[in-house]
Amino acid sequence: MNTLVAGDKAPLFSLQDQNGQTIDLCELLKKQQVLVYFYPKAMTPGCIIQAEHLRDQKAALAKLNTISVGISPDPVKKLKNFEIKKELNFTLLSDEDHQIADEFGVWGLKKFMGKEYDGIHRLSFLISQDGTIKHVFNKFKTKEHHQVVIDFLTENQ
């Protein structure tokens, strides 16, 4: 796994969202900076907590000129279900072939309960409007992710 770092250019991607619409990173960046957060699987405990906190902090993030975009290998239909059940208010993107996860360097070997498998590592990238990665969030507890992001944004306005 060769994870992108601050200062790298973010891969410009186009992926389908939970509504089947194509979302382009370059279009999002025209309006504000983007927090791209990768999560392993919709409707799992850690992913629910992380998404709910980002949902609840949408206004605080907006005041800091930032929107959240979640990316997982889940199909569009599952993302829609996640959005509805958890009343999410931000974009979820489907990366079923994990091509974008590979480009960001977040797809790789994982270990859980004695098993090894390939999957998404839970990392977030703050991408500035010029397409440069401003910060990589790689050390956080899932339930504190939103606060780590907001603290960084507040300190680095």
Choose the catalytic residue: 10, 36, 42, 47. 47
The answer for residues whose C-beta is within 8 angstroms of residue 43's C-beta and 6 or more apart is 78, 81, 82, 85
Between CA 4 and CA 15, with CA 143 as vertex, the angle to 5 degrees is: 45
Residue with token string 């996640």: 82
Q: Positive or negative, the Cα torsion across 155, 106, 118, 80?
A: positive
Amino acid found at 133: I
Q: Is 26 an annotated catalytic residue? A: no
Catalytic positions, written as ranges:
47
